Structure 1
Amino acid sequence: MTRPVPDLGENALKVLEKRYLRRDEAGNLAETPEGLFVRVAEAVAAPEAAHGGDPKAWAEVFYGLMARGDFLPNSPTLMNAGTPLGQLSACFVLPVGDSMEEIFDALKHTALVHKSGGGTGFDFSDLRPAGDRVRSTSGVASGPLSFLELFDRTTEVIKQGGMRRGANMGILEASHPDVMDFVRAKTEQGRLGNFNISVGVTDRFLRAVRDDGSWDLVNPRTGETVRTLPARELWRLLVDSAWRTGDPGLVFLDRIEEDNPTPHLGRLRSTNPCVTGDTWVLTDQGPRQVGRVAGLPLNVVVDGRVWRTEEEGFFPTGVRPVLRLVTREGYSLRLTGDHPVCRVVRCSRSSLKTRWTPAGDLKRGDRVLVNDHRSFPGWAGEYGEGEGYLLGLLVGDGTLKKDKAVLSVWSKEEDPQAQEGIRQIMQRARACAVRLGARRDFRGWMAVEGRGEYRLSTAALRRVAEDLGMGPGRKGITPELESRTSSSFVQGFLRGLFDADGSVQGTLAKGISLRLSQSDLPLLEGVQRLLLRLGIGSRIYRNRRSGGSKGLPDGRGGVREYTTKPQHELVVVRENLDLFWLRVGFGDSRKASALRRRLEGRRRLPYRERFLATVEELVPEGDAEVFDVRVPGCHAFDANGFLVHNCGEQPLLPYESCNLGSINLVRMADEAGELDWEKLDRTVRHAVRFLDDVIDANCYPLPEIAQRTRASRKIGLGIMGWADLLFLRRLRYGSPESLVLAGELMGFIRAVGHEASEALGEERGAFPAWEGSLHQRQGRRLRNATVTTLAPTGTISLLAGCSSGIEPAFSLALRRRAFESDTLVLLNPVFQRDLAILGEPGKDILARVLESGSLEGTDVPLWMKQTYVTAHEVSLEDHVRTQAAFQAHTDNGVSKTVNLPHEAGADQVERAFLLAHETGCKGITVYRDRCKETQVLYQGTGEVPSPGVPTKPKRRPAALTGSTVKVRTSFGNLYLTLNRLEGKPFELFATLGKSGRDTQAHTEALGRLVSLALRSGVPVRDVVGQLKGIGGSQPVFEGDGMVLSLPDAIAQGIERVLGETVEVSSGDMCPSCGAPLVHAEGCLRCVSCDYSKCL
């Protein structure tokens, strides 16, 4: 088979030579572009052998994908596949725990990841706030921000994989006490230069902003609120900082959590959801109250299945404000406002779509899930069905005295069926009482003369009642009754209670129901919990009959006015009636017959029980001690019947890594932009297989990363060349037609990608963490937990010769610096083709475009002006709606930057933030052109204006005073003499000992240029800022830090003489060639060379 020759343009070849092609020890190229793609293809295809595949055949397929430019994996795969390093992932999420050991473990892991060529993301929300107590040292904590700076400096001194410096993403929850300082951090020029920061916000926070409500800042260590402020105060700071600096971005935590396919694999450290200690949780040993089993591992029952908690079981999380969630059906629960409850977002006859929603965000009318325990067989415990039946009769119609329990029934002589029913109750109760242990003088049921009443007295039943927490005047469903008894006891108890007070009502035409009336509302709520644990749903109607006074028999043959309490009613309907008949039933033959006749007389199946409850209200109930739990494999539990989340999950799971690749859309379309859907289908399937093989071919920098990545096998297949495709189709970026196309395209890629992953799942097995995932619930055995991601494509889009990701074109013309002294003027090829259509006028237009980079102000046909828009000509709405259109069909996140013109106001940043949330984005980054002091972003190839500085240097006097310092470098000791004039730095002499002439010449040249700058009035801090941090090939350790290169050594030497440290700002200028950097796809990308840095 003849391999295709790699389809690479001139600039792509230069990028390959500089960054990707292997070199020998002397620095000479040792690899061709074809050899690179062969190396990568063979390394990635090697795991095929373990699955019965043909590595050679698949290596040819993978080679063709890359060589033709149809698909390219992320840069680390291109760089490292088939090499000793073998690290193929682009980015990693590392946990940062709230202890010195955990923090420095994370720092060490960061260094190892950066050394291997990866970037890192962190959630610092677990760290206790600045000033908080540190028990082990009796000191105070320095807070998350101090540790961000430590991570930032670590990144600064580590050369990443020999290719580029590392980059970091840092997130802090909006509820963290230090969030205000975190937001302000990057307004200080140069601070956290290796971090892109985002604030994690919830729907609850945004609702508080909208309603002008208050917002609590909560100590993550204790769960206590340390400060309450207006939500809009924090919001205004967020917006203003993003307008001024481009940081922070926003991460919409609730939106991310909704689509997390494997929530059971990690904690969401940002929230602290909790329930109160009196909450009932169902276990395989029966119901238990959370506060009574804290600290003990449990087997909890969720929707009828048993799941094991972590060893600590339920754990206290502090004293926090709680709400009571009340439903129309009668179910209620006390919990914190951030505890996720399973809310129903769509309900049809055949399916339910649910979403985890913080309790505080629920609204009246929302429907939530309660547990369906119909498949649960029951639990062991004290006492059996007989004791339960007697206690049910006692609670329903009996009296508990100091020495005995007295049961009562009434016979109606005029109703033979009723009499037979009573006889059956009496017969069953007497048999149970005898088995319980009757005394020798036990006489069974005794008639009460003149009242039609029969009574049965038993001391043994009194002892059982007292053992379960009852006493005279205190009978009902006690905590002891719920927690200690068996499911058989519960069935007997309910049967006795319904024999005493229940009724069968309704007709086949109007509906059948089973009803239990009581003035004791807590008793009915307890009955509702008991029924639900048996899989029987019910509803409580409050105040069915109002209280007042009523004439009732006085026990002496007369009538007397008695005060009556309001009556409430528990009702069982639908298919719950069938399950009640099977699991509980009646001892009263009349009631049993009435229910059986109605059930047997139905001509159609009953309505299904959906196990839904409707939110009625959320009632604040002050502060309470609260608890939480972790349930691996399920991550939910039964709380008073509700299906609630356990300790929340983090979708960016600790120790997971990104395994990414992108399809070049230009290669999937013809010259008119018509997509070849068959080719796209085939490319998606091959790309999914490629990325799945990468997981097994990868050499991970940490064993924890290997374990977590292989557990979920997440891959991220994305696209690049979106702007070019729109140019081909003559569609404006963000137009309605483009948004429809975006949805169709990404929906197709996602659907085919899932099919391909499912086919691999059948061939190789589902991902190891499949059990407990959303895919398991859907019955799909996918090989990969996630399949699609729109990730940054900075450098690989240069190789593919197409536009970056889904970003609009930054410019129609770019002056790209070559690696020698010349420059190349690059035109968008589609634009160049259409420009030629205009003939001679096109040349004048070309000249204008070369100067400005866009068609703004030019006289071109309307269709051309509407099609060829650049990033700053696209409205914020079109930016955001494009991101949302793709996000709707993407498993993971979408990397994109909303670029705003320099004159945009803070109100536009706010609009972009709010629109991103409204349209379903998972996060957003907004960057206003030239918003940083030293950043200059210009389109086109015209000259960049520079701020005015004196052009004529001051004359040097005959004598000056100065200081000399020595700095160690890899080339020998560097001696720097900094002379001053009128107390200010004026000139610099740099001498390098024992080095070659070329190195000496370079050193002297740097010293002269620094002197020229100082004599021309350039502030010494600016000089240091330009030199400090420049990396070289041979860094050395010096004192407490590292000297990266000769320029860096000069900068550090000047600092020593001055006795101060200059904080260096990247200024968003390219460290490779000095040209401006463009913000795109959440990354920095050089418009003049190949440099790309993901933040």
Structure 2
Amino acid sequence: MNANDKLPGMPLPPQEVSIDVLREKYAKGDETTVADVRRRVAKALAAREAPALRAEQEERFFRAMEHGFVPGGRINSAAGLQLKATLINCFVQPVGDSVTGFEDGLPGIYTALAEAAETMRRGGGVGYDFSAIRPFGAVVHGTRSRASGPVSYMELFDASCRTVESAGARRGAQMGVLRIDHPDIERFIAAKDRGGLSNFNISVGVSDAFMHALEADAGFALVHRAEPGEEFIEGGAHQREDGLWVWREVRARTLWDSIMASTYDHAEPGVLFIDRMNGENNLWYCEQLRATNPCGEQPLPAYGCCDLGSLNLTCFVDAPLTQQARFDFKRMREVAAVAVRMLDLVLDATEWPLPQQAEEARAKRRIGLGFLGLGSALVMLGLRYDAPEGRLLAAQIAEHLRDAAYAASVELAREKGSFPLFDAEPYLAGRFVARLPQDLREAIRVHGIRNSHLLSIAPTGTIALAFADNASNGIEPAYSWTYQRKKRMPDGATRAYEVQDHAWRLYQRLHPQAAPGGPLPPQFVTALRMRADDHLRMLEAVQPFIDTSISKTVNVPADYPYEDFRGLYLEAWRAGLKGLATYRPNAVLGSVLGSAASDADQGGIDDDPLRRRFDGRPLGELDSVTSKVEYATQEGRKTLYLTVSFIRAEGLADGVPVTIERPFEFFMPANQRSDGQQWITSSMRLLSMLARAGGPIAKALADMRDVVWEKGPVRCGFLTREDGARVPVFHDSEAAAVGFMLQRILVKRGFLDSQGNQVPVAQLARQLAARGAPIETPPLDVAALPGVTAAEAGGATCPECGARALRKSEGCTRCNNCQYVGECG
């Protein structure tokens, strides 16, 4: 029974956004309702049962979904449709060090790339461990060359993911993992700092050995089996007795601080405690875990998959938001038992992108049953998410779910047999299985078990919207009780929805006299209104009862102290967690979830003023800046006038309304008859389209600066050395020079920082509010320009371009970057 059915009068009607998400993503053909989708899924899975059981099981499956079971998104979108698409959300796939073929049981890089493309084409996301790939500068004996390192090859996977459209018009999602002891670990940590690898989440695989070195403030060796180049050996690299090469030793604390600083500023990389993952693995005796699926809730072996489903916890709350509110554990256990059977059948009903995936799944029969709506359910029960009572109930729910799922899998084993790699003695010796009740352990010993793993708590964004009236996501608390969700329509127009949290809707229904925006009972607490420690405590409470892992984000406010932030990760390791992901509001765009999903899948996307879309030019005047720029190519000296117009955009920063200024239009007022002016004009128009659509301008300009042509370098500006010699600054192409010039305009305006990175929304809002006072513009870091040494940097800040390149020359104050001339005499 659904919690809605227990309200006085009629149940809550579905929200408009829920109907649209259902019809856009899950309802197929003439299906129009949740019941239609559930009936199709029930029929498709029951068809895998023995003929005599099909009608009974179809009805049983349908009732389980009516009463709280929500299969994973791929199951709802593809089951029973005769598509060559997988019902499995995510996979982990191996990547070796050879270019093609197989070596040491691992597919070569391009072989793995082709396998990943096929998996994503069929609808699955993919995680990889890139640690086998030899480091940058390693010797490649076969071609007498040097290796380019794992990060360079990750760019191939990133481009493939961006190109391949998954089944159901989704974009693929990816997780990239690199071990903490890989010699290229610093490159990996910084790989997304400038907006690269936008189709990846990235995580560092951290070992216990590293964490012990961190605690001892000791050195830590970066090692690989690949032989370093001569310059590394001359610098101290050497081969150990175990055959591995020690490329160099670093201070553990320095390396850890680089991870923490990047995560604090950019929300990545995440951290996976790989020894904890393997130590708690039920199949510790026959597999090794090196990576997770893209959202981190499933540590998986090579070609492993996550077959997901969730119980909507709000469906098991009796008398919600009253003094008599209680959680019905018995009913939850009954639904969980049916859900286990359904997910087990998914493994037989799905199309497998690769034969290796089918073989792996059938040998172990992993499934991942979890829950959604924990935050909403606690509110309905009168419990705060950030209080001990809320954590206690969450742990009890997880424990009951664990026991019900394992008991159901034992019963399935009695009926259909255990998973093929089941071996009672080592399985029962596993750390997680050792914590099961004794009667369950004895049943496993006698009858076996159908599924090697049974539990996983995944993110549940759109399935919670479509099938659970926007109950809170997975294990998370509500992020906001109401928000505006904007969807771009096929004709380019924008449609807005008000989206309401399920528990908040129930409260408004039961208390119609409550004033909109008035005070709510104390259990109504959102994610950013609680301490980071409280998010961590919830993970600690639930993780002991989950045999794989949990996708959970620890939200911290923008002003959260760095030292406290860094301590969260050390505390998570000491608490025995398998990993940690945090989010502190920041300006970096392009996380895998943001790029893999459409705007229609993102709640509140237009609340970000940097991403708000403008569908036309507003009436009135725009504030504009025009800059004269001169540069030289082999074809001669050229002069351009570049104009950037700015618009004000409203939105939220840390939940607070703000107004910022951002670029709206790029323009070159020049004759378009020459080839060069034509491409520049077209680039200006494309940049204008990107700016109006709320796209990543910083990334686009950085990409322009990477363009190379065959006509030789482009000289743009000069630097003066201490000896008075003028040193030209070169770019790789005319496009790169124009991109640099536009960056300088935006740096001076305060929209980008001195390195061309996006300035955070909160800082942009402060700058605009203080526009009456001078904007504090960061100087150009001249030392970071191509061909410029630290000794050539320095000088006063130029009032025209912001570069630290203002010097006295020939009696005048002159900028060696933009050629501005100031005081003379």
**Normalised TM-score (structure 1):** 0.50
Aligned to 1:981: 641
Displacement, 1:1024?
4.9
Judge conservation of contact 2:15–2:499 (CA < 8 Å) in 1: no
* Alpha-carbon distance in structure 2 between the residues aligned to 1:1056 and 1:690: 58
Residue of structure 2 equivalent to 1:662: 310
Question: Which letter does structure 2 place at the counterpart of 1:253?
Answer: I
- 2:434 matches 1:789: no
How many residue pairs match? The answer is 601
Cα gap change, 1:9 to 1:651, in 2 (>3 Å): closer
1:444-523 equivalences in 2 (<5 Å):
none
Inter-CA distance 759–988: structure 2 relative to 1 (3 Å threshold): farther
| Amino acid corresponding to residue 735 of structure 1 in structure 2 | A
SS across alignment from 1:842: coil
Q: How big is each residue's C-alpha offset from its partner over 1:901-930, in whole Å with a ceiling of 9 and x where there is no partner?
A: 111122232121112112221110011012
Tell me the residue number matched to 1:932.
Answer: 588
| One-letter amino acid of the counterpart of residue 671, structure 1 | A
- The whole-number CA distance in structure 1 between the counterparts of 2:351 and 2:642 is 59
Deviation of 1:21 after TM superposition, in Å, equals 2.3
> In 2, are the aligned partners of 1:775 and 1:782 still within 8 Å (CA)?
no
**CA displacement, residues 627-680 of structure 1 (integer Å, 9 cap, x when unaligned):** xxxxxxxxxxxxxxxxxxxxxxx9520001110000000011123341112211
Q: What letter matches 1:886 in structure 2?
A: V
Residue 261 (structure 1) shift: 1.3
Root-mean-square deviation (Å): 4.3
In structure 1, runs of 5+ residues without a counterpart are 24-28, 271-649, 847-859, 958-978, 992-1005, 1029-1054, 1068-1075, 1078-1095
Q: Distance in 1 between matches of 2:133 and 2:119?
A: 22
Matches of 1:1026 and 1:128, distance apart in 2: 28
In 1, Cα distance between equivalents of 2:361 and 2:547: 16
CA distance in 2: counterparts of 1:669 and 1:813, whole angstroms:
22
Question: Aligned partner of 1:664: which letter?
Answer: N
1:868 counterpart SS class? coil
Q: Give the distance between the partners of 1:940 and 1:38, measured in 2 at CA.
A: 31
Q: CA deviation at 1:36?
A: 2.5
1:612 matched to which residue of 2?
none
Are the structure 2 counterparts of residues 62 and 896 from structure 1 closer, same or farther at C-alpha, using a change threshold of 3 Å?
A: same
Conserved in 2, the CA contact under 8 Å of 1:131 and 1:142?
yes
Change (3 A) 1:1057 1:85: farther
Which has the larger Rg? Answer: 1
SS in 2 for 1:785: coil
In structure 2, stretches of 5+ residues that fail to align are: 6-10, 101-107, 227-242, 292-297, 430-440, 613-617, 629-638, 645-665, 673-681, 705-731, 741-750, 752-759, 762-825
Cα distance in 2 for partners of 1:265, 1:8 equals 47
SS at match of 1:888: helix
Distance, in Å, in 2 between the alignment partners of 1:106 and 1:180 is 24
1:231 aligns with 2:231: no
Q: CA deviation at 1:215?
A: 0.7
User: Matches of residues 1038-1053 of structure 1 in structure 2 within 5 Å?
Assistant: none
Q: Does 1:883 align with 2:539?
A: yes
Q: Hey, what does 1:679 align to over in structure 2?
A: 331
Pair 1:200 & 2:199 matched = no
- 1:435-473, Cα deviation, whole Å (9 max, x unpaired): xxxxxxxxxxxxxxxxxxxxxxxxxxxxxxxxxxxxxxx
Q: C-alpha separation between the residues in 2 aligned to 1:691 and 1:175?
A: 37
Q: Deviations over 1:1045-1086 (max 9, x none)?
A: xxxxxxxxxx998368989xxx9xxxxxxxx99xxxxxxxxx
Choose which of 128, 131, 144 in structure 2 pairs with 1:125.
131
Conservation of the 8 A alpha-carbon contact between 2:273 and 2:578? yes
Q: CA deviation at 1:956?
A: 14
Secondary structure of the corresponding residue to residue 192 of structure 1 = coil
Q: Using the alignment, how far apart are the partners of 1:894 and 1:1007 within structure 2? A: 44
Q: Cα deviations across residues 417-437 of structure 1 (Å, max 9, x unaligned)?
A: xxxxxxxxxxxxxxxxxxxxx
Residues 202, 838 of structure 1: alpha-carbon distance in 2 compared, 3 angstrom cutoff: same
SS at match of 2:48: helix
Q: Distance in 1 between matches of 2:124 and 2:695?
A: 36
The whole-number CA distance in structure 2 between the counterparts of 1:824 and 1:1014 is 24
Equivalent residue number for residue 262 of structure 2? 241
Identify if the C-alpha distance between structure 1 residues 839 and 1021 changes in structure 2 by more than 3 Å, giving closer, same or farther.
closer
CA contact (8 A) 2:274 2:290 kept: no
- 1:167 paired to 2:206: no
Query: In 2 relative to 1, CA 763–940 (structure 1 residues): closer, same or farther, beyond 3 Å?
Result: closer
Change (3 A) 1:942 1:7: closer
Mapping for residues 1020-1039 of structure 1, pairs under 5 Å: 1024=700
AA of the residue aligned to 2:78:
N
In the aligned structure 2, how far is the partner of 1:743 from the partner of 1:262? 24
Residues in 2 aligned to 1:837 and 1:62: alpha-carbon distance in whole angstroms: 32
Give the corresponding residue for 1:135.
141
Over 3 Å counting, the alpha-carbon distance change for 1:733 and 1:137 in structure 2 is same
Equivalent residue for 2:342?
A: 690
1:65 — aligned with what?
64
Distance (Å, rounded) in 2 between the aligned partners of 1:940 and 1:133: 49
Instruction: State the Cα distance separating 1:955 from its structure 2 match.
Output: 10
Q: Determine if contact 1:262/1:772 at 8 Å carries over to the other structure.
A: no
Q: Deviations over 1:848-876 (max 9, x none)?
A: xxxxxxxxxxxx47xx2x41111111211
Work out whether residues 246 and 927 of structure 1, in 8 Å CA contact, stay in contact via their aligned partners in 2.
yes
Equivalent residue, structure 1, for 2:120: 114
Q: How does 1:509-658 map to 2 (within 5 A)?
A: 652-658=300-306
**Partner of 1:217: helix, strand, or coil?**
strand
Q: 1:687 is paired with a residue of what secondary structure?
A: helix
2:77 maps to which of 76, 79, 90: 79
Amino acid at match of 1:814: Y
Cα distance in 1 for residues equivalent to 2:669 and 2:285:
60
1:874 aligns with one of 506, 513, 530: 530
Any idea what the Cα deviations from partners look like across 1:99-150, whole Å, max 9, x if unmatched?
1111111100110011001100001111111111112112111111111111
Which residues of 2 match residues 336-347 of structure 1 at below 5 A? none
Match in the other structure for 2:276 = 255
1:214 aligns to what? 219
2:372·2:474 contact (CA, 8 Å) conserved in 1? Answer: yes
Q: Distance in 2 between matches of 1:10 and 1:817?
A: 12
Bigger RCO of structures 1 and 2 (CA < 8 A, at least 6 apart): 1
Partner of 2:326, secondary structure, is coil
In structure 2, what is the Cα distance between the partners aligned to 1:928 and 1:772?
Answer: 45
Q: Determine the C-alpha separation between the residues in 2 that align with 1:129 and 1:205.
A: 19
Change (3 A) 1:688 1:128: same
1:800-857 per-residue CA deviation (whole Å, 9 max, x = no partner) reads 12110011111111112356644232333433554678876733x34xxxxxxxxxxx
1:204 Cα shift?
Answer: 1.8
Secondary structure in 1 matching 2:389:
helix
2:794 counterpart residue number: none
The match for 1:1058 among 730, 735, 745 is 735
Identical aligned residues as a percent: 32
Aligned to 1:826: 499
Q: Is the 8 A contact 1:775 1:781 kept in 2?
A: no
- Once the two structures are TM-superposed, the CA of residue 228 in structure 1 deviates from its matched residue by 1.1
CA distance in 2, matches of 1:920, 1:1015: 45
CA contact (8 A) 1:85 1:699 kept: yes
Change (3 A) 1:1019 1:1058: farther
Which one has the bigger strand percentage?
Answer: 1
Letter in 1 for 2:133: L
Q: Secondary structure at the match of 1:733?
A: coil
Q: Partners in 1 of 2:205 and 2:556 — Cα distance?
A: 22
Residue 951 (1) aligns with residue 622 (2): yes
CA-to-partner distance for each residue in 1:924-979, whole Å, 9 max, x for gaps?
A: 0011012527999999999765699982458999xxxxxxxxxxxxxxxxxxxxx9
CA distance in 2, matches of 1:760, 1:15: 34
Contact 2:478 2:527 in 1 (8 A): yes
CA, structure 1 residues 809+1060, in 2 after alignment: closer, same or farther (shift >3 Å)?
Answer: farther
Tell me how far 1:64 sits from its aligned partner.
Answer: 2.5
Distance in 1, Cα, partners of 2:304 & 2:608: 42
Q: Does the CA-based 8 Å contact 1:97-1:103 persist in structure 2?
A: yes
